[in-house]
């Protein structure tokens, strides 16, 4: 039973009714294509709306979860109680000299394309990362010898009390898949990147090369949340998993990818429980064989059925 359904009437004082969804299935909002219903999902169209929704949820003690493009997220089969704030409509990207200012819902690929169009170099590494700017800053996303910390100048955020603040690069405390955003539960609204002028042809060549390598090595034809596990210090998760004989192992439609064993994929109708059970098997086998504990990179939220 949706005990927060009546809360939607209060949200209508802040948001356009078309931006409020009741009992929306989270499988329609995540790259894993998995997840039960959320009581209320909202799609704010401005920073002010985000702030007001966060404040209202806090005031009324309604659980509130912020998501971007849902690319690093596994929602359990029982769904989510409370409100999910989806920031995908906050996707504006603008140029200021050699700086790019992008709202949190903008996709990394779109920002990479925008940098290319303006002959700015430094953001090529992100061309194939399937996430939004907000999530990328939160996790200090990186690939192919590049990461967000190398190019970020500052981020506009909302703190736990609904106040808007600007955090410098130092304030963001960016490390391997960690940041002050994650540490303190902040919400990213907008990010400023400081890039350099480059040659269009060389930037495009780099993007084309990275895109081809990603297509060749990663199971992009299947639903997933990207790399399932963090890289353990001194090791590569995918190699540990493969050397444990786990490549291709399945539970239902959840499978350790045969193309890249660092990915657990949804081959069609996997449940969250299938994914979670497979994650457990991988963690147990790798620990037994190598004495290494694998931590999940994917964010897991929601309730069991």
DSSP per-residue letters across the chain: --TTGGGHHHHTTTS-GGGEEEEEEGGGSSTT----EEEEEE--SSHHHHHHHHHHHHHTT--EEEESSSTTEEE-TT-EEEEEEE-TT---EEEETTEEEEETTSBHHHHHHHHHHTTEES-GGGTT--SBHHHHHHTT-EETTEEHHHHEEEEEEE-TTS-EEEEETTTTT-BTTB-HHHHHT-EEEEEEEE-EE--HHHHHHHHHHHHHHHHHHS-TTSEE-S--BPPPTTS-HHHHHHHTT-TT-EETTEEE-SS-TT-EEE-SS--HHHHHHHHHHHHHHHHHHH--PPPB-SEEES---
Is the distance from CB of 78 to CB of 304 less than 8 angstroms? Answer: yes
Residues annotated as part of the active site: 177, 227, 297
What is the spatial distance between Cα 179 and Cα 181, in angstroms, rounded to a whole number? 5
CB 253 within 8 A of CB 269: yes
């Amino acid at each position: 039973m949706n005990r927060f359904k009546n809360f939607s009437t209060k949200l209508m004082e802040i948001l356009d009714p078309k931006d409020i969804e009741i009992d929306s299935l989270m499988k329609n909002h995540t790259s894993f294509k998995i997840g039960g219903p959320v009581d209320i999902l909202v799609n704010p169209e401005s920073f002010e709306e985000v702030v007001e929704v966060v404040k209202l949820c806090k005031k009324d003690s309604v659980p509130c979860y912020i998501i971007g493009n849902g690319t690093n997220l596994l929602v359990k089969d029982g769904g989510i109680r409370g409100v999910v704030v989806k920031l995908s409509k906050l996707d504006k990207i603008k140029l200021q000299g050699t700086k790019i200012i992008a709202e949190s819902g903008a996709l990394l690929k779109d920002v990479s394309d925008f940098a290319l169009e303006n002959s700015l170099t430094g953001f090529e590494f992100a061309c194939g990362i399937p996430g939004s700017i907000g999530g990328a800053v939160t996790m200090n996303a990186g690939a192919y010898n590049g990461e967000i910390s190398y190019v970020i100048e500052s981020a506009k955020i909302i703190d736990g009390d609904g106040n808007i603040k600007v955090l410098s690069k130092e304030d963001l405390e960016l490390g391997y898949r960690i940041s002050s955003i994650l540490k303190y539960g902040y919400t990213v609204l907008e990010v400023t990147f400081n890039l350099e002028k480059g040659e269009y042809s060389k930037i495009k060549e780099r993007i084309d090369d990275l895109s081809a390598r990603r297509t060749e090595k990663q199971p992009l034809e299947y639903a997933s949340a990207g790399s399932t596990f963090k890289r353990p210090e001194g090791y590569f998760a995918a190699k540990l998993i493969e050397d444990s004989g786990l490549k291709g192992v399945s539970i239902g439609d959840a499978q350790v990818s045969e193309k890249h064993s660092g990915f657990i994929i949804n081959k069609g109708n996997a449940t969250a429980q299938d994914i979670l059970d497979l994650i457990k098997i991988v963690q147990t086998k790798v620990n037994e064989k190598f004495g290494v504990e694998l931590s999940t990179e994917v964010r897991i939220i929601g309730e069991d059925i």
